[in-house]
Structure 1
């Protein structure tokens, strides 16, 4: 029986290894571009590895992004494109595997050779500029560690204006310790030329500015514009523009600039930037990163425009997600008025349209559900309480621990619906703000959404977790120590000492935390009896005296340094805390004064007198390293503010016990 069981387990292991090997191999298979050419009209499709669904998730599917090699692009599964000119075009397919447990298929460009030239075709609005501005961005997928992401940067020059301008791309915010992206490649099709960032000043009125970010003064390039006198108002406007640019650049580690010499008035133009996520990319899948683009037209009548794209770092590609903006907060400045911004994105991934979308969100206990304010939505609807019958509307239902945003009477196409090519039409979102109900406890809090399309099973999103930064809380400590089991007569004063110290800990910790302390014992002095000698005679001022005894004492003054490198503390509540840890004490300096005290009587019986004098003085440094362990109890405002405590310490070399009573104040 054992032999058969071993054989079966061996076969299962071989099969599982084979499946894992095949899965790993499948992840490396590139997306294959298929092209059906008809003169200069090409229909594209992709050959992709089979999807592997995640247990409990909706059915997996691919979403598509095509770069067609001439500045055009598509998010359709099988796009058609007419090339206006002959030539060879590099076509790229970026497929994203939604609800799949593997990696997206690698991208491999395919050259498409067009031999026939067509007549010019009037360009139609692409629908890309949904915000109404002249610059926007889209990403083919949310950033995931170890994957490539493509930014589509679109800009347009308003008709009837001077053409040309500059484009500035900013990424890798300084709020994160690490760089999240590296620039892979920028693919331009309209004479966009990458230039050094500091050359942007060449296209502003001439002025000398100082900016440490560029290592010194930046001078405007000498060109035709540099010699034209400008009104004072234009110069002032330009100084404001420079200040704005420097401020924006100061919040990011990386920036790249392009000159848009080929910008055509009234035309939509696009460039594509590949960003490779770095190995050290932040792994927090609740983090939201910003990428900003600035479009600065050469026409002085046009104001610069900024577009900032928020991207949530993800562990897997799920089109339905919830994210909390600025999810890491400073607890010092968090109170009832602190405003939190949530955004819930959803996408109908089904085969048919959805008429109703119910988004249920769990509200953490520390948040005030009655403070919810709706900021934005897609599709845009009126409130249901003001809608006429069968009008598209949004209903908001708040319960004790949740909120429901219900889109009613809408038409949201499905990704797999026949005839649906615009994936943006299958998406929507809700954006709202909410306040804390009271000063929150310093613990993480999580929200999660369940999205129901019509009567289908709910789609559960990721958990969006809000956290508080640890912060630092310095403190001061003043204490009085008493040694237990003092030797009394032989050693006076050595059982007491006054100590001042400092501590460092996380700010206002809720329960368990680590704390470091450093103390200096400034009044640690004692007197120690050494020996007594009897008998003897002496002469003082021509008078004879009989020496009764001579006592030798040592007066010792010690300056100590005590460090607590390791201490674990636990706050039972806001008023009681306990702790335990280890301490290392070292004598920084020890001053020893040896004193001779002589007690004597005169030969005629005069009452005895005492004379005192120094036999020796010496100072030693850095002596007597003495480790200790301790436990203590603290009462008061133990998280932050004043508190009092009592600590029991056990020193090991030499062995002794002490009680330390102290007051502290954490800032």
Structure 2
């Protein structure tokens, strides 16, 4: 019996945009590939971001829009597939032409997207930003950069600069590339450097006052300049635009299309930042910043757990280090949620008694101080978890009738917690389970805290090494060596280590036995001598560097470690010279006898990088093997000479 083959929809099918204009209002719908559910996950769904091509936008599924112009209008739909195992539908811009004007259509009053542009400015400032999704490696991300001249500024018109800063310097790789930035109000590209570097004198008191270019008419106070410099130093990439004639209460939007780099995958579940700046020319209006914190995700999921500053410096991490977690959730159902239980497992390294809730959405008080049936948050602990329970709340569902603002369906709980003691240098993992009313739990990603490698320099003093080779008289068989080590800071288990010993310079002169003939006559400078003694001497000068270029170590515990590797000695400089030393006797005409010493050089040989010698070793350390002093015993074997020996050393890692 043949089974029917299931044909899956292609991920390469782009979003198809449909529109219809009536009475000056254009209504949009779309066709998207069918969603594919992930086993065990909630039902998949799309979220939407529409860019209308004239400065308007919408996050609705089927928005309406009144176009203010029709010249070169290109509408774009960016659909994000949540809880779906495929790729995001590609975006294909659609041109919009002016519809024929009929007496019925009349003249429409210009407006922005149906969700209202003012909905973006929920923080009450002059600047705000929003993305259509969390960044996923290999995907695109759209960012709406909104700026305005709010009435509180007291200015009828404003000129100034807006800037976007991205790619945190704390990450080794760039996370974003700005593929395109679309402006609709004659914003012109500019350079942010004059705002960071230029200073002028205040004519009133001749004291240094920091401004930007006077030609541009931009004035920054010292505090504002310091803040702008701090922001700029935190990011590797930046772009800025000049704007003019921003009227009171006018809102403008710039649309930025970011591509996420493949290197971002290395930091999945980390939190990256994008910062926006609003810098007015008028000194009476303050410079404002808006920071977005975005979690890098492996899949699009509105329920997430985030750890801020997930990459930590272990050297600076102690018992009082405080970590900040944030659990986001979204009601994707058809009705409102009245009770939400956010359960978070607590890693054993944390002290539950130090946990404190920082902020919540919906914003509620604790149930201990609430009256009957008041919206509140109850926090209680179990063996290895903490539960944050929102009670008597109303969180609308995304599929609920009449709900058009997706932000109203979202919530979060943010908390801080400290360690019991300095933790081991191992990843710290936490996850959450979210229960809406009596539904099945939804499990989030695992937020992982990791420690940066860090470098640990050290000193080492050894006896009986670093190297010994037979038949080389210029090397001592039992010597004391001073060197330096370099390894990752306070590694918990496996780690690498390199060692370098200070160059040794040895000069040795020794006698070589020869057959000597004494009482032999010779003539030097017409003077007769008798050879009383003759000796043959050799002098060798060697400069040697010793190193351990490869060593793997393993800490069995806090106090015991073992290791194995290769030890190499390289002669950087080698010189050998030979000399005959004579004792001569002569007698003058009066019969007086005198003795004379005479040295004669025989040969001289020089060579650089003359010899490299390698041996292998295994050792054990006792003491504070991660950071601090330790005593080591090292067994060394030289395969070339078949020699082996035991050496000892003391090391101290910082």
What TM-score do the two structures reach when normalised by structure 1?
Answer: 0.83
User: Would you say 1:665 and 2:652 are equivalent positions?
Assistant: yes
Q: Over residues 151-199 of structure 1, what are the superposed CA-to-partner deviations in whole Å (9 max), with x where a residue is unaligned?
A: 1122221224232232111112222222222222222333433333357
**Counterpart position of 2:20:** 36
Shift of 1:31: 0.7
- Answer whether contact 1:571 1:639 (CA < 8 A) is retained: yes
- Aligned: 1:132 with 2:132: no
Structure 1 unaligned regions, length at least 5: 1-7, 209-216, 227-234, 600-610
* Deviation, structure 1 residue 612: 12
Judge conservation of contact 1:370–1:398 (CA < 8 Å) in 2.
no
- Partner of 1:318 in structure 2? 301
Verify: 1:626 aligned to 2:619, yes or no.
Answer: no
* Distance in 1 between residues matched to 2:387 and 2:419, nearest whole Å: 19
Compute the displacement of 1:245 (Å): 2.3
Q: Is 1:45 paired with 2:29?
A: yes
Secondary structure of residue in 2 paired with 1:151:
strand
Alignment of 1:526-605 (within 5 A): 530-531=512-513, 533=515, 537=519, 556=540, 558-590=542-574, 592=576
Q: Does the 8 Å CA contact 1:494/1:527 hold for their aligned counterparts?
A: no
Structure 1's 291 and 485: CA in aligned 2 closer, same or farther, altered over 3 A?
closer
Q: Residues 176-191 of structure 1: matches in 2 within 5 Å?
A: 176-191=171-186
SS at match of 1:317: coil
The 5 A counterparts of 1:262-341 are 262-341=245-324
Matched residues in 2 for 1:198 and 1:483: separation?
54
**Which of these residues, 150, 155, 166, is aligned with residue 142 of structure 2?**
150
Q: How big is each residue's C-alpha offset from its partner over 1:570-619, in whole Å with a ceiling of 9 and x where there is no partner? A: 111121111001122222334556688999xxxxxxxxxxx998876756
The alignment status of 1:261 with 2:248, answered yes or no, reads no
Moved more, 98-107 or 495-504: 495-504
Question: For residues 92 and 491 of structure 1, what CA distance do their matches in structure 2 show?
Answer: 81
Q: Hey, what's the Cα distance between the residues in 2 that align with 1:143 and 1:639?
A: 37
**Is the contact made by 1:67 and 1:92 (CA closer than 8 Å) also made in structure 2?**
yes
Q: Where does residue 220 of structure 1 map in the other structure?
A: 213
Q: 1:357 to 1:530 in 2, by over 3 A?
A: same
| Farther-moved stretch of structure 1 (645-654 vs 583-592) | 583-592
Pick the aligned partner of 1:364 from 320, 343, 347.
347
Secondary structure of 1:425's aligned partner: helix
SS of equivalent residue, structure 1 residue 424: helix
Instruction: Report the secondary structure of 1:127's partner residue.
Output: helix
Partner of 1:192: 187
Match for residue 486 of structure 2 among 480, 487, 504: 504
Where 1:283 maps in the other structure, the secondary structure is: helix
**1:110 lines up with 2:94 in the alignment:** yes
Structure 1 residue 453, shift from structure 2 partner:
0.8
Q: Secondary structure at the match of 2:228?
A: helix
Alignment partners' CA distance in 1, 2:605 and 2:501:
21
- Kindly tell me the number of residue pairs found equivalent between the two proteins: 619
Alignment equivalent of 2:83, drawn from 79, 99, 113: 99
> 2:378 corresponds to which residue?
395
Aligned partners of 1:535, 1:34: CA distance in 2, in Å? 115
Q: Hey, what's the Cα distance between the residues in 1 that align with 2:467 and 2:184?
A: 84
Query: How far 1:342 sits from its partner (Å)?
Result: 0.9
CA 485–45 in structure 1, closer or farther in 2 if over 3 Å, else same:
closer
Provide, for residues 241-285 of structure 1, a one-character-per-residue CA deviation record: whole Å limited to 9, x for no partner.
Answer: 334323322222222222232422123332321112234435321
Change (3 A) 1:614 1:584: farther
Measure the CA separation in 1 of the matches of 2:473 and 2:491: 43
Separation in 2, partners of 1:496, 1:363: 55
* Structure number having the greater helix percentage: 1
Aligned to 1:346: 329
Partner residue, 1:655: 642
Note if 1:60 corresponds to 2:44: yes
RMSD, aligned CA? 3.6
What is the CA distance between 1:537 and its match in structure 2? 4.8
Match of residue 162 from structure 1: 156
The answer to whether the aligner puts 1:175 opposite 2:170 as a matched pair is: yes
Aligned 8 A contact 1:635 1:644 in 2:
yes
Deviation track 1:473-526 (CA, whole Å, cap 9, x = no partner) reads 1112121116999999x9798422222221111011111101111224637677
- Structure 2: stretches of 5+ with no match in the other structure: 203-209, 523-527, 584-596
Name the counterpart of 1:603.
none
Secondary structure class of the residue paired with 2:27: strand
Distance 1:528 1:33, change over 3 A: same
